[in-house]
Structure 1
């Protein structure tokens, strides 16, 4: 059955620490950038909703050890309310960042809707405590926050900790495997962890099918997909905050997303980290849009 599509735009960049040459991280421009290259018009959404984000800052919150914690918390609350106010049952939601910290507000909304699973596609685990973060950026610890690791002001908004349970998460695609202390954090959790090499070994489609089996076996209310575009190989997606050479290609992405998109329990997908400032001519963005739309359109046929 064909589902309507709604697009939510959350152009938040407070979860990233700006680089020396930057005025602010360019991921704030992502929704408008995708619109420029006809993503919205080709998707034909029923509605497009937008919640403008606070002005960029580099404030460090000593209580939580997270930059811009208060602003991120306030935005996450508004974001969750905004989703719930505009949410339509049986609609597929495409949520455009912004950086990965938009997951916090999305996860709060999902928690209010029920017990959800998360298929987390990212070139990093984003699962460390704030104390281990070199930058204090929420975008690098968002998976930890939404599953309950970190200061309660971020992890227990509205008393809802955890927003998504560790055991209901598949984290796939981490290529930052050399740092033992970094990787140990997620290995010692209840998250189902598939680094890039284990993901290849298990099979892309099979990993998605294993996730859906878990969702069904646990009788979850639904599931959500996180797609940080830095999971893609650098040669096809260098327009990201933290580049790494290895990653997946578009065929691999299709193998995972297609069965997930076809499942009626899929609430939708969030897309993060693509930075227009690193793709001046839109070369990599155009290819990404073409590939993603092809996968989404297959879902509808």
Structure 2
């Protein structure tokens, strides 16, 4: 991994309807993310937070069942442009969310630089909905579909190209809550998914080794999109959409350590830390601990 790293905060809370996740970037900084990365000899440049415009609040404005479409699109456009610039400077982009809708901007800025970008989607959810299939209209449940070119053109055509990612270059790890439309899309596109059933059955070591081998064969860069709700709520309580029966802290550290050893990541993001729903900043602290393992921290 590149030692020159750019931190970009995206205080986005408009991709869903629970306030507080906009404080996620601050919570991770407060938990010592920058200092931890600097101790690992990364040259860290914290670029601060992207401004997010708020809706006027008069009513729940929707466009094709998409809540806050305009503001989510504007925030992601700004993120995409900044990520594009940082990769152009040969720097590793590390993005702090915010809700998971920010992956639309992340992947738009990143995928420009690769012919076959791989994506590890570490999450309880598939985030493969669109306006027609979403039960809620929350865009944080749509970023992976958007990156495949499925959804509203204000989102899919960001930076004037689509799709950002090919379905065969995606691996979802930790899934345990998939809507019917998402299951159908996974089958239709042949997306590789490791559900909690499979992780319990074959173990995290095998899951991550298979993931790494699979992506190394077919990609020229790999983005990690880590949603803290991938972990069990007992380990990461400060998330907006907790799902019981998730990944443990130890399994997640193992996964990050294996990614560090494989040295395949070219970008990463940590999302859905909500301090209002948290217990003494526990979830942000977990996120920063996982960053330590991902970026090379070792006990010996």
Flag whether TM exceeds 0.5 (same fold): yes
**Alignment correspondent of 1:138:** 139
Matched, 1:55 2:45: no
Tell whether the 8 Å contact from 2:256 to 2:293 is kept in structure 1 after alignment.
no
| Alpha-carbon spacing, 1:299–1:126, altered in 2? closer, same or farther (3 Å) | farther
Matched residue, 1:176: 177
Distance, in Å, in 1 between the alignment partners of 2:222 and 2:177 is 25
In the alignment, is the contact (CA less than 8 A) between 2:7 and 2:46 conserved in 1?
yes
Aligned in 2, Cα 1:257/1:47: closer, same or farther, shift over 3 Å? same
Of 244-253 and 192-201, deviating more is 192-201
1:65 equivalent in structure 2: 65
- Counterparts in 2 of 1:97-112, with a 5 A limit? 97-112=97-112
Q: Is the 8 A contact 1:187 1:193 kept in 2?
A: no
Tell me how far 1:89 sits from its aligned partner: 6.4
3-state SS of the aligned residue for 2:7? strand
In structure 2, the partner of 1:286 is 285
Compared CA separation, residues 168 and 295, structure 1 to 2 (3 A):
closer
2:24–2:284 CA contact under 8 A, matched in 1 = no
Asked if the contact 2:5–2:92 (Cα under 8 Å) also holds between the matched residues in 1, the reply is yes
Paired with 1:230 and 1:273, the residues of 2 have a C-alpha distance of 7
Cα distance change, pair 37–217 in 1 and its aligned pair in 2 (3 A):
closer
**Structure 1 residues 1-301: aligned runs within 5 Å:** 3-18=3-18, 25-44=19-38, 45-57=43-55, 59-62=60-63, 64-87=64-87, 91-114=91-114, 115-176=116-177, 180=180, 182-218=182-218, 220-279=219-278, 281-298=280-297
* Alignment deviations for residues 225-280 of structure 1 (CA, whole Å, 9 cap, x no partner): 01100011111111110122210111211222222233443112211111000125
Question: In structure 2, do the counterparts of structure 1 residues 181 and 273 end up closer, same or farther at CA, with 3 Å as the change threshold?
Answer: same
Q: Post-superposition shift, 1:88?
A: 6.1
User: TM-score by structure 2 length?
Assistant: 0.87
Tell me if the contact between 2:238 and 2:282 (Cα under 8 Å) persists in the aligned partners.
no
Distance 1:116 1:176 in 2: 25
Q: How many residues align?
A: 292
Q: Secondary structure at the match of 1:118?
A: strand
SS in 2 for 1:132: coil
CA contact (8 A) 2:252 2:290 kept: no
Residue 60 of structure 1 aligns to a residue whose secondary structure is: coil
Question: Any conservation in 1 of the 2:6–2:86 contact (CA below 8 Å)?
Answer: no
Unpaired runs of 5+ in structure 2? none
Moved beyond 6 Å, runs of 4+: none
Taking a change above 3 Å as real, the CA distance of residues 91 and 55 of structure 1, as seen in their structure-2 partners, is: closer
1:108, CA displacement in angstroms? Answer: 0.7
> Structure 1 residues 5, 262: closer, same or farther in 2, change over 3 A?
farther
| 1:4 to 1:259, Cα distance in 2 relative to 1, 3 A | farther
